[in-house]
Amino acid sequence: MAERLQGDARKEALASLTLWSEVKGRDAIARSLKFKNFNEAWGFMSRIAMQAELMDHHPEWFNVYSKVNITLSTHDCGGLSVKDIELAKFIDNAAVGK
């Protein structure tokens, strides 16, 4: 079971994710991305889905045409964990140059 991030470890982890924001009322982080079209958004989501499956850690997300909204939280610990930080960094790297 993943351990919930707290204290300094949480602050440091969140400081490294400048494109993400904390979700009000939840122990979660979120990011919105905009792509040129649906095909580009779907391709991005496919890359993230493959990594998420490898990590056994799946995002909450919403897609309409070229927009993708992603929320990360680790349900088995009830909040943010290292898994969320690792997946967020992968997402950020995959989104470079979009």
Q: Is the pLDDT of residue 97 over 70?
A: no
Q: Is the pLDDT of residue 98 over 80?
A: no
Determine, yes or no, domain membership for 2. Answer: no
Determine, yes or no, domain membership for 1. Answer: no
Determine, yes or no, domain membership for 35. Answer: yes
Provide the residue range defining the domain that includes 35: 7-95
Q: Is the pLDDT of residue 5 over 80?
A: yes
Determine, yes or no, domain membership for 19. Answer: yes
User: Based on the structure, what is the number of domains in the chain?
Assistant: 1
Rg of the chain, C-alpha, whole Å: 13
- What integer is the mean pLDDT of 81-94? 97
Cβ-contact 57, 64 below 8 angstroms: no
Residue 71, domain CATH: 3.30.1360.20
